[in-house]
Amino acid sequence: MNNFKTRMHRLKLFLIAIVLAFATAPAPLHSARKLGLLGVPLPRGATLVSKMPQTAERDAMETYGTTATSAEIMAFFKAELPKSGWTRWRGDIRPDWAAFKKGNRLIAIATNEKNKTFMIMGGVR
């Protein structure tokens, strides 16, 4: 009987280890040490897809492809932008959108989970 309890205990520990291995959060994104629009730090693995300059009628915009999820992208910017002097502007309006301000620069980050892209839009005010 004692041998049976030992085996059951080991099986329980094994199953717990498997569940924990699959349930842990993904590793956070790291900075690519590259800068995007208006000096915004970019996550590692981001690739520039398109770029539009600021004009009198609209803000500048850069679109990047990524393998990261929208949640990972937003977590990256919410953690990294304050380290570069950016502050949140207007709080969380949507989970896939955030705005930041630094001096006279204002940007918005928007993610698109379906297309695996994110955009940085903004300009100097």
Q: Could you state, in order of their start, the residue ranges of all structural domains in the chain? A: 29-124
- The candidate with the shortest Cα–Cα distance to 112, out of 94, 99, 124, is 94
CATH class of 29-124: alpha beta
- List the chain pLDDT tens, one digit each, 125 residues: 567 666 665 656 554 555 444 444 555 666 767 889 999 999 999 999 999 999 888 999 999 999 999 999 999 999 999 999 999 987 767 888 999 999 999 999 999 999 999 999 999 88
Query: pTM for the full model?
Result: 0.73
How far out from the chain centre does Cα 21 lie? 22
Kindly tell me the sign of the dihedral angle through the C-alpha atoms of 41, 43, 48, 50.
negative
Query: What local confidence, expressed as pLDDT, does residue 8 receive?
Result: 62
